[in-house]
Structure 1
C-alpha cells in the first residue's frame, strides 16, 4: 500500500478527503484485496468500542484515550454512537505500521464474542429496472448481462454507447429499488450514481446542439457531468420538480425523496446554477441549497461535501445527525421499516460512519451500545426500537 493511499484513507475516515482524493481511493478499491483491507479499517472502530477495556497494549490504549478525551471536550453535549473519528484515524495509522489489528481481533474480540458480522451483500440486493420507451421493462440484476442496440449492462452499471447526432429524443427510465445502488453512463459520457429508492428519466442519446436534459423524478443521484466544451457548448440540465440545475461540466449531488420535506443540492466541484421560478442560486464548491417543501423556502449554506456524497461508495457519514434521519437511510439501504416507539429518541444526534457492507444487526447493536435506545426487536421486515 502506497503512502499516498494510506494518507487518503486516514483523511477519508476523518471526512477530510477531497473529491480528487476520493476518486483515487475509488480506483484503488477496484481491487478485491484492497476492498478487504478497507472494510477491516471501517469495522475496527466497532472492535475498539466493544473491547477498549480488554486489550493490554498500553501505548495504543494511551493514544486512544487521549484522542477520545479531546473529542469529548469538543463535543460535550453530543451523543457519539461510535468511537471518535480521530481515534479511529490514530488506529489506522498504527494498523498500517504493524499487525496490531489481526492480533487484537484474535486475542480480544473472539474472547469477548463480539466479532462484528460484516457480510458482502452485493449478490443479494435487488436489481435495477430499465424501462424502455415502449414500456418494456428489463431487470438488471447483479451477475446478469444485458446488451441491445448500443446499450449494455453487467448488472451493476448501465452504459449507453450511442451517437449524439439524434434528431429525436427517446426517453428511458432507470429505477433503483430500496436496498440497491446503481451506476449509469449516459451517451454523452456523463456518469450518474443512483442511490436506493431513486428514479431517473433520461434520453437514449442527446440531440446535438441542444441542452442535455435529464429528470430526477425522486431519490438521490450524484452527477459527474461531461464538459460542455466536448459537446459544442451544450448545457447539461437536471430537472427535479420545478427546479432546474444547469451545469457546464462539474460534480454535484441532488437528494429529493418523496417522503422527505426537504431537497438538497450540493456542489462538489465546478459551478452550477439552480433555477426555480423567479429564484436563481449560483453555487460554488461546498455550497448546498436546501429547499423546504412545506414552507416553499430556499436556504443556502456551506457543508462538508464528504458527508453528502460518501453514499456512492457505500458509506454513510454523518455528523450531528438525528437518529430518525439515520433510520431513514438504513430503511432504504436494507429495505426494512422501523417502528420507533419513543419519538423523542428520534431527536438524539450522533456522529459516525456506517458501511453498507455491515450487517443491520451490527449497526443496531452499535446504536444500542451508545445508551440511547434500550432494545430493538427484529420482526421480519419491521424493526421495533424502544
Structure 2
C-alpha cells in the first residue's frame, strides 16, 4: 500500500505555518519542499488560501464557508497580517487537528488521485464510509420493504393510507391520496407499521397526523397507520427526534401524543424534543427544545404500550431542560436544568458533538453510525473530548483527529481495536 506519511508530514508543516509555530529547522524543511517544484509551490499557495480551507473546514462544523474560516482564524490567529496563535483548549486542539487533516487530505488527493477522480478517495484507501438513508419498513401483515432499494414514489397502500418514499430519505403517510372507495369505508382499519434503521442508517417519517420523526442509527419506531382514539401513541427503541403536530379532538380538548420507550412514557401536545434510549447507554435522555413535555417513569416496558399504573415519578420539562432516567434495577429520574441542546440533536444535524465526552461513549456513537464493532486492548484511556466533527466524513478522518489526542486504533475489516 502507498505510504502517505510524507503527505501528512507536509500537511503538519503547512498547518504549523498558518499557526506561526514553525521552528527554524521546520521552516527550512517546508521551504525546501516548496522549492522542489513549481507544482509544490502552487499546492502551497492553494492550501493556504482562505476559500480553499474555509470550504473544506466547513465539513467539520456548522455554518457557511466564511464562518468556517472565522472559526479557524479565531483559534489560530491566521489573518492577512499575522500568523500567531495560542491553542490552550481541547476544542482548539480538535480544530487544529481538523486543519492538519484537511491540508493532508487535499495533498493526497492533488498528488495521488488527481488523474483518477472516478472513485472516492475513501474507497481507494479501503476506508469505511459514513452511514446514510437506510431502513426497513415492516407492514402490518409482516411483509417488509427495504427502503434502500425501493424506488421513490408510492411503495404501499394500507386501508385508506398511501405510503410514499421521497428522494431525500423520507417516508410519508398521506390520507389525501386515498381512493374514494377506500375512504368510504365505514369502519376504519388500524394497522401498525414499524420502521427500523440498521447500524449505519437513518431515516425520516411523516406520521399520519403530520408529526415528523427523525430516526437515528440502530433504532426502531412502531406506530399506527392512522390515529383513531383520543390519544396518539408510538413506541421507540434507540434514538429519535420528534416534531409533534398539535391536534384537537374537540375545540377545547387537545389530543396528546405519547412516546413509550424502555422505562418511561413521554406525553406531549405539540412540541420538539429528542429521546435517546439506546440500551447500551447509561441513561435514557429526553431533551426538550420547544413546547412542554411530561416524562413519566414507569415499571412497564415498551411492549406494554402504556403506563401500568405503577408510576414511580414524573417530571415536567421546559425548553432547554433534559430528563435522565438512569438504567439499572433502581433507576432514578433526574432533571438537568440547562441541557446542551446542540449536543443532544447534533446527530440530526449531521454532526458528532462532544462535550467532555469519554472515549467509550464516542466509540459507541462511531460503532452505530459506521456499522463497526469496537474492542479494547489494554486499559481504556481515561480521556475527555470536546468539539464537533461532521458525520459525513470517512472513518479515517475521525481516527486522525482522535489519534492526535493520543488514542491509537487498529482496523481489521469492520473491527476497531482501541489500544492504550
Which of 269, 277, 281 is equivalent to 1:248?
A: 269
Which of 77, 83, 87 is equivalent to 1:61?
A: 83
The C-alpha deviation readout for 1:48-78, integer Å capped at 9, x for no partner, is 99xx99x98664633xx25x34xx3xxxxx6
* Residue 327 (structure 2) pairs with residue 293 (structure 1): yes
| 3-state SS in 2 of match to 1:384 | strand
Q: Which runs of 5+ in 2 are unaligned?
A: 1-53, 62-67, 114-119, 177-182, 298-310
* Residue 413 (structure 2) pairs with residue 380 (structure 1): yes
Instruction: Show the counterpart of 1:8.
Output: none
The C-alpha deviation readout for 1:31-51, integer Å capped at 9, x for no partner, is xxxxxx8764134989x99xx
- Give the TM-score of the pair, scaled to structure 1: 0.71
* Residue 242 (structure 2) pairs with residue 223 (structure 1): yes
- How many angstroms does 1:244 deviate by? 1.2
Shift of the 204–38 alpha-carbon distance from structure 1 to 2, 3 Å rule, reads farther
Shift of the 340–79 alpha-carbon distance from structure 1 to 2, 3 Å rule, reads farther
Contact 2:130-2:395 within 8 A present in 1 as well:
no
Instruction: Show the counterpart of 2:362.
Output: 326
Contact 1:122-1:142 within 8 A present in 2 as well:
no
The size of the alignment, in residue pairs, is 317
| 3-state SS in 1 of match to 2:201 | coil
Shift of the 123–321 alpha-carbon distance from structure 1 to 2, 3 Å rule, reads closer
Instruction: Show the counterpart of 1:340.
Output: 376
Which of 210, 233, 241 is equivalent to 1:213?
A: 233
Which of 137, 156, 179 is equivalent to 1:148?
A: 156
- How many angstroms does 1:287 deviate by? 0.7
Instruction: Show the counterpart of 2:392.
Output: 357
The C-alpha deviation readout for 1:69-95, integer Å capped at 9, x for no partner, is 4xx3xxxxx68661279xx9xx9xxxx
- How many angstroms does 1:340 deviate by? 1.9
* Residue 95 (structure 2) pairs with residue 83 (structure 1): yes
* Residue 136 (structure 2) pairs with residue 129 (structure 1): yes
Which of 255, 261, 264 is equivalent to 1:234?
A: 255
Q: Which has the larger radius of gyration?
A: 2
Which of 345, 357, 366 is equivalent to 1:309?
A: 345
Shift of the 43–314 alpha-carbon distance from structure 1 to 2, 3 Å rule, reads closer
Shift of the 38–264 alpha-carbon distance from structure 1 to 2, 3 Å rule, reads farther
Instruction: Show the counterpart of 2:205.
Output: 184
Distance 1:41 1:377 in 2: 28
* Residue 49 (structure 2) pairs with residue 41 (structure 1): no
- How many angstroms does 1:221 deviate by? 0.3
| 3-state SS in 2 of match to 1:178 | coil
Distance 2:318 2:355 in 1: 22
Q: Which runs of 5+ in 1 are unaligned?
A: 1-36, 73-77, 92-103
